[in-house]
Amino acid sequence: MDAELTRRLTEIAGAGGLVERTSVVIARDADSVAGIARVCAETLTPIAVSSGASGTDGAAPQRGVVISLNRLTGISVAAGGLTMRAEAGATVAALRSAAGDQQLAVVGLPDAVDAEHVGTLIARGEVPRRSLCGIEAVLSTGERVSAGGSVLKDVVGYDLGTVLLGSMGALAIIVAATFRLEPVRSRTPVPEPPGAVPPHELIARAFDPQGLLSARG
């Protein structure tokens, strides 16, 4: 990583946000994710994204950096509206706990998932589309995009959630998602169909047969 790129990334990530020996850049918030992505686009620096990488882990692409989302851990529950917003670095365990504290559960979230963090949960497509009512992301150019939110309603337009769900992080950097909730006592079981292939595996088979793409954390 050259001196100018180091300087620019340090300005965005702040003290301790850039670990040069591992090329991990730890974003402070969604705005800093956008800033880091913008600088990398301008300098043609390859990026990988991890919901959980710290300053001591995460494998950067050659001559590139890992954008870590492990500081984006905010979770807010709107119990009255049956929704919950969670940032990409929040753990799935924290997601369940925050909903459970209100005697609620995330609609369609399986009892067991491989993903440890919310960003990876979405990138791998380990929840059904009906679980989401909003999603926030950053494009590779640094532009922030969002669709939906905390209000449960159907609208006409592009379905960003469907596009990013199971995309393995290849289309945009997921920074937060808003989930639908339901009362625990009336939760509908969602058993996995026999022989079902997880959505992220279907994506990988179709677009990445050699396994060059991966969603970490």
User: Which CATH number covers residue 23?
Assistant: 3.30.43.10
Same domain, 108 and 179: yes
Domain region containing 59: 3-68
Question: Any idea which of 3-12, 119-128, 129-138, 166-175 has the lowest mean pLDDT?
Answer: 166-175
Please, where are the H alpha helices in the chain?
3-13, 30-42, 92-100, 118-123, 160-164, 199-207
Q: How many domains does the chain have?
A: 2
Residues 80 and 56 in one domain: no
Residues 140 and 118 both lie in one domain: yes
Kindly report the backbone phi and psi dihedral angles of residue 92, in degrees, each rounded to the nearest multiple of 5, phi listed first: -65, -35
Does 91 share its domain with 196? yes
Q: Select from 68, 91, 116 the last residue of a domain.
A: 68
Mean pLDDT of 28-57: 88
One domain for residues 83 and 179: yes
Do 101 and 188 fall into the same domain? Answer: yes
Side chain identity at residue 12, one-letter code: I
Q: What is the mean pLDDT of residues 183-197?
A: 62
What was the pLDDT predicted at 143? 95
Residue 204 has pLDDT above 70, yes or no: no
Q: How far apart are CA 207 and CA 104, in angstroms?
A: 36
- 89 with 64, same domain: the answer is no
183 within domain boundaries: yes
- 170 — pLDDT class (breaks 50, 70, 90): confident
Residue 111 DSSP one-character state: S
Say if 194 falls within a structural domain: yes
Quick check: 110 and 198 in contact, CB under 8 A?
A: no
Is 0.75 topped by the overall pTM?
yes
Domain co-membership, 109 together with 154 = yes
Q: Could you tell me if 26 and 82 lie in one domain?
A: no
CATH number at residue 91: 3.30.465.10
Give me the mean pLDDT over the 101-112 stretch.
93
